[in-house]
Amino acid sequence: MMGLMDDPLKYIDLFCGIGGFRVAMSQAAEGRGMASECVFSSEIDPDAQKAYEANFGEKPTGDIGEVRAEDVPDHDLLFAGFPCQAFSIIGDRRGFDDVRGTLFFDIARILKEKRPKAFVLENVKQLRSHDGGRTISTIMRTLAELGYHAECKVLNALDFGVPQKRERVFIVGFREPRRFDWPGGSGEATTHLEDILEEDVPAFYHASPKIRESRMARREGKPTPDRATVWHENKGGNVSAHPFSCALRAGASYNYLLVNGERRLTEREMLRLQGFPEDYEIVCGYAATRKQAGNSVAVPCVKAVVHSVLDSLEGDAVEVGAERAIQIYEGAL
């Protein structure tokens, strides 16, 4: 047994955004009666840095690419919701060298230098299919070459309590081979859309009459829900209405999601859709907070994954058979 409760569990928070991983880790540790300590955080966006500092009392380091791996404090866990830019060069099956120049490389070089016990990475669902699956295969192979036993799975935030359909790839890895069981989730939102909506929302958030009329016209002839819904207009112009939100996105049109086809989500509503606690302080304007929420992780989903990781770390290391080792190496796809 590792005795994780003997000392504070130290972790680092890379590409930390506004701290979704940190909130999830704190909640998971507190729920188990464990002490945890974030010993390093990194985020390049100034507005996200501002929000993170306001809520956690420390300003994240900027560009992680400019930080030497040996200067990162020792830690037990590495968390990273790493951006997906620059993956187009991956796929030549050169392992560690193949990921140089990508943001994933910054994670890899820190894992190589600091050797944490475990890590949790998060990325968009499309990572698994990017470049015909070669990108995720290269990432998983790189992790294996670094000596980590890793696997990946797509999880949906909607299955972990929040009214947001948000499918994301999670990659979990351990320095030693360990039994790991992915969290199953409840299969439904335990927090309903009505629970997160604010009342008496100012006119600022309401779409123009022209936008509302356009949405109504595209919904003509379709069933009218008898409860609060979020209307989503896709790229083809089809408008759907669901008692949950489609995935928040950082760069989409301001009006692609409308509550009851009438108004945009408020800053607090967006953070609630991501599972942030009510005492999370909003310190940036609408545009910046909207971007931050769209780039963030869904806290309850991450918390469930962290719980499973801690379960594994508190257990004994196991032997990995040849068949399982091959699955891990190839990405467990």
Task: Give CA 308 to chain center in angstroms.
Answer: 16
9-187+296-330 placed in CATH 3.40.50.150: yes
Per-residue confidence (pLDDT) for residue 100, from 0 to 100: 63
211-219 — which CB contacts under 8 Å span 24+ positions? 211/255, 211/258, 212/258, 212/261, 212/262, 215/239, 215/258, 215/261, 216/261, 219/261
pLDDT in tens, 322-333: 444 444 444 444
**Section 10-26 average pLDDT:** 98
* DSSP codes of every residue in 97-157: GGGTTSHHHHHHHHHHHH--SEEEEEEEGGGGTGGGGHHHHHHHHHHHHTT-EEEEEEEEG
CA-to-CA distance for 264 and 215, rounded, in angstroms? 13
Classify the phi-psi angles of 251: left when phi > 0, otherwise alpha if psi is within -120 to 50, otherwise beta. alpha
pLDDT in tens, 272-311: 999 999 999 999 999 999 999 999 999 999 999 999 999 9
User: Tokens standing for 108?
Assistant: 């890899």
Q: Please state the domain extents for the chain.
A: 9-187+296-330, 199-265
84 noted as active-site residue = yes
pLDDT exceeds cutoff 70 at 84:
no
pLDDT exceeds cutoff 50 at 185:
yes
Among 4-18, 150-164, 179-193, the minimum mean pLDDT is found in 179-193
Task: Give CA 43 to chain center in angstroms.
Answer: 14
Tell me the percentage of the chain whose pLDDT exceeds 90.
71
- Degrees, nearest 5: CA angle 161-163-164: 110
Active-site option among 84, 152, 284, 301: 84
CA-to-CA distance for 119 and 82, rounded, in angstroms? 12
pTM: 0.91
